[in-house]
Amino acid sequence: MPRWNVLLILAVLATGCGDGDDDDGATAKVPLPMEQVPEAVLKTARQAAPDLTFYAAFKDKFEGQDSIELKGKTKNGKIREIEVSPQGKLLGTE
């Protein structure tokens, strides 16, 4: 194997394949089991979107702060996302 190939491989290994951030600086979402979502977070999400049935949660970042993203579905199948701080403050809806 030519020496430059070895150097290239070593350079790739030294820098790694990324730090978990997307190109826009956002961190990857981490799945959170629904039974581990704090009650304050669920209460806020239900108040913000009473028509949703929540089925998935993720630890996330929203505008630079820790958040829990809840995904919910309406009766007609539309999916929406609610961002809530771990303390139960509504951060945003989508």
Tell me the whole-structure pTM to 2 decimals. 0.71
Is pLDDT of 75 > 60?
yes
DSSP secondary structure letters along 8-76: HHHHHHHH-S--SB-TTSPBPPEEE-GGGS-HHHHHHHHHH-TT-EEEEEEEEEETTEEEEEEEEE-TT
**At residue 48, does pLDDT exceed 80?**
yes
Model pLDDT, residue 3: 57
